[in-house]
Structure 1
Amino acid sequence: MIATAESCTGGMIAAVLTDIPGSSDVVDRGFVTYSNAAKRDMLGVRDATLQAHGAVSEQIAREMAEGALRHSAAQLAVSTTGIAGPGGSEHKPEGRVCFGLARKDGTTRTETVEFGAIGRAKVRAASVAHALALLKAALS
Structure 2
Amino acid sequence: MKRCFTALIALTGAALPSASGQGHSALVQLQAHHSQADLEHMEEHAHYRYVGELLFYSSSFLVEEGGVERAATEQEVLGIDLHAHDGLRMVDQRIAVHDPLIDKHIILLSRNEFGALVLERLSPLDRDAFLANKRATMEQPSSKTQ
Regarding TM over 0.5, the answer is no
Relative to the length of structure 1, the TM-score reads 0.31
More strand by share: 1
Relative to the length of structure 2, the TM-score reads 0.30
Which structure has the greater CA radius of gyration? 2
